[in-house]
Structure 1
């Protein structure tokens, strides 16, 4: 046992004070050498044309004036771009006016070069337009050619822009020009300062708890989870988690039902507010995406009901309940589209932290292992997203923690305990079928802790609740699929996949597929289970961080004076068998539903699919071979904070690149 003396406390204060100073210095260097220069670079932020924005073209006649009105959605406009069509070179004049006062803010005369395809021309202001937020402007385009018109202007078939109109020679057209407004990203400097202040605060609180050495593991998790969970909520905007648009659609559909609104249209597409639809699905964690979020944050609310781009997933309402509550709160309080989406992400994070907090508190040993897995960058990204993986991971961790409490600590198992676990199983199983086998660990609860026949009845209830809710939900999904048109998913459109008959009838080829998957994808699985590829696999985290977190996880498998218990041989066998079943079920699902027949390995499997039962595998390998006399919790917590800090800088580096 470590005695806390004034000398030890002073030594710890000096060490962690130096570490905080190094972190502050790193933040300052990162700001001045990377964030600040990038914030002065121009970014095209508006409009973001959807993929279906097909173009028409019209020749620019002599004496004819094209006028595109726009509305400033930023305080600054440094330049703009206009798309011209293919054709011969021609002399063109472009003027930029403030609509209300008629003030000329910029005028350009240029020769549009001959081109074989459409292209943008750039127009830069000598002095950027300031205080542009909410003001209306006009872009006027004329040609000075005396011969036949040669220059054409492409424009959209529909009014995708929404904040302006287009006229040609006094005649109003239905669409808008293809144009881009450009500005610098000065707000990114303020965003980074806010990030730095939040991280320093979290680091200071953690240092205080570590120095005092009077903090439970679950409280350490609270500090780390809130500090870095909020980072992933804010710096991974909506739609940047894998398949998040499908989960957003489902949460909005659930919110429609709760609010008593029409949830889907005749084609099965989800009903949302017009302002919610006005947010493009941008999957990249980039400056352009943050510019879009910054711009859309300030748009007014439009409650008109419109159809979203897709239908809901076939999952029960509880699968997205935390995020749905956030959406409902956003609607009830009159929040804009971006604020509503962030509320959904924030509620998901709160639910995740709440469940994991109690899971760590309940579990009698292996607390640091569970905490570390719950703090993986991949775990936190999913926790702060609309994905139902947030709920699945949280409930799996809670189920494992509470069941371990019943196995090793609680003397008598009551019906309340059984009903609690049965409720978790009933919610968890319909979301992802394979994870129902997590519930199999309830059979490890010693019979002597039950009264009479409660053992088989109770454990059977826990497993049966998951199966029953699964059947009910799938029947509902099948019924809905008959009355509504949904969307199908697949790896390659039109490709032939594998059937169960193919896998069984060709054992040699099937074994080859399995071995190829291990050898070709093993490193990818190991990296992505921790968080090596975040977002839609664009944000790469350094392998130094990944290896560091895996090393810390390995260290948590050593026994210590505080946690000397381990599983018996029988318990290890059961846990490993259940884990192999879940791994096999996950891989088989992707093999049958996602892998084209020309693939040499099983496609679509990601490391994050193994997160819900990873704590079981780690607990199963915990041993007494290596015994650590000193308590590692505080040192490991500080190391996790440092590695998460490095991961956050990797994310920032990607954003501003």
Structure 2
């Protein structure tokens, strides 16, 4: 505490920021308390306000490019922004490297590391020097001209980067500084998630507090307040779940408009990460009786399947074809450590020819990495596995219980029939288990070196999109009416408070490190 006060005296800007964070945290907590218990505001509206304010706090504390793989998403969004603006020309240099503003070259080749031969990504490991540099930066750019980045963008659908690219484009049009550009991109990405999440909560016939609770995981907040395309995946997966449940329980019959909405989601979400195409299997819980005719039901199945296939093939044709039809002499390799040394990974044909070995690897994975998956799903650690930015382990387990509790206690809309029957719960459960197993299998072949007896490269954040489906498959829903609703909102308020305290503590800790 004494050292903190000394730092606040020596660095007045830091003292002002800590005071601002504390004041904003108090105001946000009081505002949510008022909206929850005094004004009785709609949950979707509280969600939007909370995500925008709390996400902005996370974006400020966990500096740009500190989120998992954020530098790759930064380049992807920058590339799309350049295409939107039509500048510079040519877009790439003779080596295929993306041209960027001279102002922005410091972002992924930070000179403050005093290592001219190493390209240090700004924010990859947050230090006091970087915080001070951000404090001293102005709103507008100080340099003109163009440079280039050696970082390569992620191959995915451009829709995943549309909103951060929109923020980048606006910042570039007004000649904003590199920090202004990064925060504009993050803000637009956060705005997309908050808006789509609010739509999902508004449409959910039950389980709304559960979605809110999962969105308050520190890991979720870190992702949606960054440039990551996980923001896009999480937003659309939540909307997909809400639409499926809404279609099953609404009174009106389903027609072409409703089918078109699901198809649009399939075209947008499936190419982003092919594994999440599995989420559309949840559509089978919508009974054929909900459609105006049985023929329309079978048309819906065909249309959604076709949308998934077309979306994947248009964006991921090369990687998809290599996976389905590998050449006989193909050897997959991966740079596991990131030091430039590649190692041969497991071969699909050889592995499936020895099912006992495959099952043993999966068993070992759950035994060795299971705890890590649970903790990293919530937020221990955050950033680039930065142990200084770790949500407390005990709170992680508590946060894992909160979505189950809020699903049981939360308010349920007046619907015409029982929430979910056994068959529908079974579909959600099989979908959840299947997505986890397929994710592990794909990473076994793409990332895990031979003779490693468990899967590498998987993080708990990969399972957040399917977590709501898993919870709904297990718990009874909306049992306690208005009293349960108050308890559920009390849990959400506690999660908000815990996140705010964590952010203030983390910011002070990072500055002192």
Task: Confirm or deny: 8 A CA contact 1:566 1:622 kept in the other structure.
Answer: no
Alignment partner for residue 548 of structure 1, among 398, 409, 412? 398
What are the superposed Cα offsets for residues 166-215 of structure 1, whole Å, 9 maximum, x if unpaired? xxxxxxxxxxxxxxxxxx54321111111112111111211212331522
State how far apart, in whole Å, the 2-side matches of 1:428 and 1:459 are: 17
Partner of 1:20: none
* C-alpha displacement of 1:634: 2.6
* C-alpha displacement of 1:494: 2.4
Partner SS for 1:204: helix
Partner SS for 1:556: helix
List aligned pairs for 1:355-504, cutoff 5 A: 355-452=196-293, 453-475=295-317, 490-492=335-337, 493-504=341-352
Task: Confirm or deny: 8 A CA contact 1:322 1:351 kept in the other structure.
Answer: yes
* C-alpha displacement of 1:425: 1.2
Alignment partner for residue 494 of structure 2, among 629, 632, 639? 639
State how far apart, in whole Å, the 1-side matches of 2:319 and 2:209 are: 39
Aligned residue-pair number: 475
> Does 1:35 pair with 2:4?
yes
Alignment partner for residue 648 of structure 1, among 492, 503, 509? 503
Partner of 1:526: 374
Alignment partner for residue 572 of structure 1, among 425, 430, 433? 425
Task: Provide the TM-score with structure 2 as the length reference.
Answer: 0.87
Partner of 2:439: 586
State how far apart, in whole Å, the 1-side matches of 2:3 and 2:37 are: 33
Partner of 2:466: 613
State how far apart, in whole Å, the 1-side matches of 2:440 and 2:133 are: 37
State how far apart, in whole Å, the 1-side matches of 2:22 and 2:251 are: 43
Task: Confirm or deny: 8 A CA contact 2:377 2:461 kept in the other structure.
Answer: yes
Task: Confirm or deny: 8 A CA contact 1:541 1:650 kept in the other structure.
Answer: no
State how far apart, in whole Å, the 2-side matches of 1:336 and 1:503 are: 51
Task: Confirm or deny: 8 A CA contact 1:264 1:311 kept in the other structure.
Answer: no
Alignment partner for residue 246 of structure 1, among 49, 54, 72? 72
State how far apart, in whole Å, the 1-side matches of 2:60 and 2:152 are: 26
Task: Confirm or deny: 8 A CA contact 1:436 1:463 kept in the other structure.
Answer: no
Partner SS for 2:147: strand
Partner of 1:602: 455
Partner of 1:189: 15
Question: Normalized per residue, which structure has more helix?
Answer: 2
RMSD of aligned C-alpha atoms?
A: 2.3
* C-alpha displacement of 1:586: 1.3
State how far apart, in whole Å, the 1-side matches of 2:175 and 2:410 are: 53
5+ residue gaps, structure 1? 1-31, 41-183, 480-487
Partner SS for 2:314: helix
Alignment partner for residue 536 of structure 1, among 384, 393, 403? 384
Task: Provide the TM-score with structure 1 as the length reference.
Answer: 0.69
> Does 1:257 pair with 2:107?
no
Partner SS for 1:602: coil
State how far apart, in whole Å, the 1-side matches of 2:20 and 2:285 are: 47
State how far apart, in whole Å, the 1-side matches of 2:3 and 2:241 are: 43
Partner of 2:29: 203
Bigger drift between 229-238 and 214-223 goes to 214-223
State how far apart, in whole Å, the 1-side matches of 2:401 and 2:55 are: 22
Task: Confirm or deny: 8 A CA contact 1:199 1:227 kept in the other structure.
Answer: no
5+ residue gaps, structure 2? 111-120, 322-332
State how far apart, in whole Å, the 2-side matches of 1:544 and 1:514 are: 27
Question: Normalized per residue, which structure has more strand?
Answer: 1
